[in-house]
A and B are shown apart, each in its own frame.
Chain A
Amino acid sequence: MGTLLLYKTILASAILVMSLVVAMYSTLIERKVAGFFQDRLGPNRAGPWGMFQPLADGIKLFFKEEFMPNTADKFLYILGPSLTMLIACLTSAVIPWGPDIIINGQPFSLQMADVNIGILYIFAIVSIGVYGIMIGGWASNNKYALLGAIRASSQMISYELAMSLSIIAIVMMTGSLSMRDIVEQQQGFNWNIWYQPLAFLIFLICAFAETNRSPFDLPECETELVGGYHTEYSSMKLGFYLFSEYINMFISGAVMATLFFGGYHFPFIDRLGLSPNAFAFVSFLVLFAKITFFGFIFMWVRWTLPRFRYDQLMRLGWKALIPLAILNVLITGVVILLNK
């Protein structure tokens, strides 16, 4: 029992540190990728290829003036970014990062908690995420921040529906809500994406909206709303908002890889004859590569598509994605019944 507790503590810290480091370097990679898409080089001054740029940014954010508007609700103003950051870090708990590793002949799972309602847990946590933005926007006592917060909450609520509906098809196929079961059913190349391309497309679009990424970045829409919900934030509180966006990106990449692209499975790596620990490590690298790929897609889309107009956003969510998701559920149900 003691070893298990120790192991879980180490794993939790490792996952937390990993998400933070990945988020840190996503900011650099985002700027690098943005530069390359625009025929520039991106940051390349701080260290080789700008490797220390995230550190410089972090130090800058820490040492900036901590400004608080005097009409703001002090408690909520601080609660907003803290909540966003907390929620962003919580989601990674149910993601299976790889197959079991063996220490002293005992198997240990690379998943923090194999909750039997893993998917529901993720959706529950992501739904709380909107509170961070809403509270922050409300507490700032600024009309732009409030407008941004309103947009964020209505957008996230609309897209969460389509997102959950698209996942129902996956749940129907696997017959389980546990993330581990879903991954284990996608051995080799038997990925869910081949059976549920439509569900994946809907999920991908909703993931853009959920993480407030372009083309659905209306909540922070700098052309209309100054800075959206984080207009009044400065220093590390602003840093938390920006940072949690990148953690969310990383986690939604992980969720997409897990649900649709076989998680840590990849054809033929189980035939390499590796020792269990090396196999777990390679599998983890495979998952990480998939997440990186999705991160790149997020950035790629950001530098390709212009921002949606608000009514277009709502129409897409309610009139296109939700009916499509329901149709997908229906078709999946019919196919499952016919194959019985």
Chain B
Amino acid sequence: MTGLTKRSKVVSNRKMSFWEKIYLPAILNGMWITAGHLFTKKVTIRYPEVKREFSEIYRGKHVLKRDDEGRERCTACGLCAVACPAEAIIMIAAERKPGEEHLYREEKYASTYEIDMLRCIFCGLCEEACPKEAIFLTKEIVRADYKRDKFIYGKDVLVEPMDPAKRIDVSKRQTPEVLEFKKDKDQKHNVQ
């Protein structure tokens, strides 16, 4: 008879032999095994001194990207909020006023954009849903805090700095397909 899984074992109720009954060989064998563990490489990482490398595509705190000219890419379409399974994203759209063209790329922008980091499950679906490549997850982790309302991150935290030197590199999170797509000048939003 074959078992349901490959892991199933045949159990027998046979009488134990003398050597098995006195247990000592088995105990010595067990002690040999544990002694082997004394000399194995330890898995502990001494945290504050040594930090574990995050994966290049780690999904941590979000960033709202600016384009090359420093304009916010987000157009408050709400697709990220729709895609979000945890319903962590809230945004309010506003219309760009004349003279604000250096701040927002499209005529519509998000006047408030809030992510509740306690609700967020860091699945990255917002990033996938975004048609403007405005939101990305980064290697940065969300800091712990004592108050719940401190975890609602607004645009002041999420939008990346204007200074080109301080921009957050998200190239690792962009798949080759996306990079290819960005080169396609037939798509209107790829034309800067």
Task: Indicate the size class of the contact surface on chain A.
Answer: 10 to 19
B165 lies within 8 A of chain A by Cβ: no
How long is the Cα–Cα vector from A44 to B44 in the complex, in angstroms?
A: 11
Interface residues of B in 124-146 (CB under 8 A from A): none
Residues of chain A within 8 A (CB-CB) of B33 are: 304
Contact of B42 among A39, A301, A304, A305 (CB under 8 A): A39
Contact with B along A26-37 (1 / 0, CB 8 A): 000000000111
B34 within 8 Å of A by Cβ? yes
Chain A: CB-nearest residue to B41: A39
Q: Is the CB of A305 within 8 A of B27?
A: yes
| Contact present for B42 and A36 (CB under 8 Å) | yes
With the chains together, A183 CA to B27 CA distance in Å? 30
Q: Which of B14-60 contact A (CB under 8 A)?
A: 27, 30-31, 33-35, 37-38, 40-44, 46
Residues of A within 8 A of B40 (CB): 39
Interface majority SS (helix, strand, loop, mixed), chain A? loop
CB-CB contacts below 8 Å: B57-116 with A: none
CB within 8 Å of B: which of A276-316? Answer: 300-301, 303-305
A303–B35 Cα gap in the complex (Å)?
10
Q: Are B46 and A301 in contact (CB under 8 A)?
A: no
In the complex, A38 Cα to B40 Cα: how many Å?
9
B37 and A39 contact, CB distance less than 8 A: yes
With A37-B34, A38-B37, A39-B40 as given contacts, are A304 and B46 in contact (CB-CB < 8 Å)?
no
> B35 and A300: CB pair below 8 A?
yes
Residue of A nearest to B32 (CB): A304
Cβ-closest chain B residue relative to A215: B27
Q: Determine if A39 and B43 form an interchain contact, defined as CB atoms under 8 angstroms apart.
A: yes
A162 to B114, CA, bound (A): 72
B34 touching A41, Cβ below 8 Å: no
Q: Which of B30, B31, B37 contacts A36 (CB 8 A)?
A: B37
Taken together as a complex, chains A and B put the C-alpha atoms of A294 and B37 apart, in Å, by 19
A304 to B35, CA, bound (A): 9
Q: Determine whether the beta carbon of B42 is less than 8 Å from that of A40.
A: yes
Whether B44 contacts A41 by the Cβ 8 Å rule is yes
A304: contacting residue among B27, B41, B43, CB under 8 A: B27
List the B side residues contacting A305 at CB < 8 Å.
27, 30
Which residues from A are CB-within-8-Å of B34?
37, 300, 303-304
Encoded as 1 (CB less than 8 Å from any B CB) or 0, chain A from 10 to 49 comes to 0000000000000000000000000111111100100000
| Residue in B closest to A33 when the chains form the complex, CB atoms | B38
Whether the Cβ atoms of B31 and A44 lie closer than 8 Å is no
Query: Contact at B31–A40, with CB atoms within 8 Å?
Result: no
CA distance A88 to B91 in the complex (A): 69
Could you name 8 residue pairs across A and B whose Cβ atoms are closer than 8 Å?
A36-B42, A37-B34, A37-B38, A39-B41, A40-B43, A300-B34, A303-B34, A304-B33
Top 10 A-B residue pairs of the complex, sorted by shortest distance between their CB atoms: A41-B44, A304-B34, A304-B30, A304-B31, A36-B38, A40-B44, A41-B42, A39-B43, A37-B37, A37-B34
Excluding A301-B31, A304-B31, A304-B34, 12 further A-B contacts by CB distance (< 8 Å) are A35-B42, A36-B37, A36-B38, A36-B42, A39-B37, A39-B42, A40-B43, A41-B44, A300-B34, A304-B27, A305-B27, A305-B30
